[in-house]
Amino acid sequence: MNLDKHNANIGRGIQPGILELEGMEFHVCHGCLPHEKTVGNLFTVDFRAELDMSAATKSDDLQDALDYGLVYDVIRKEMEIHSSLLEHLAGRIVGAIADAFPQLGNFSIRVSKRRPPVNGVAAWSRVTLFYSIKAGMTLFYKNK
């Protein structure tokens, strides 16, 4: 195999791809009920972004990629701040990611809460929010 020819074709014709960071776990105190504010619960967060990764496919350099370690840090910081509602928590995370990574045009955040307090059995409650610059979502989720 001619490696020069092979390497020259890396990244050529690549469409935007998907970067995911799934199953981030946090034991935190979110919720409306008194015991949720003190005992805490397991929450998971999933991040999914559509982005152009062609530069990183060519360079093999972190400078040309979305550093998902930094994405994790933004999410962790927001998870440490109490919210009563999953919708509010997910909205804050969306706003923080949009502020920290303005190059992201489309991404989603899913926040899941283990064994939510309902009158029956439920393994998880979940909220998924989508962010799109084209849809004007920046008006709704910008942090102030």
Catalytic residue, candidates 5, 37, 58, 113: 113
- CA 57, 63, 66, 69 dihedral sign is positive
φ, ψ for residue 71 (rounded to 5)?
A: -60, -45
Q: What is the DSSP string of 8-32?
A: HHTTTTPPPEEEEEEEEEEEE--SS
Residue 113 annotated to the active site = yes
User: Is 74 within 8 Å of 98 (Cβ atoms)?
Assistant: no
User: Is 100 within 8 Å of 68 (Cβ atoms)?
Assistant: no
Contacts of 18 (CB under 8 A, 6+ apart): 48, 49, 50
User: Is 33 within 8 Å of 113 (Cβ atoms)?
Assistant: no
Catalytic residue numbers read 113
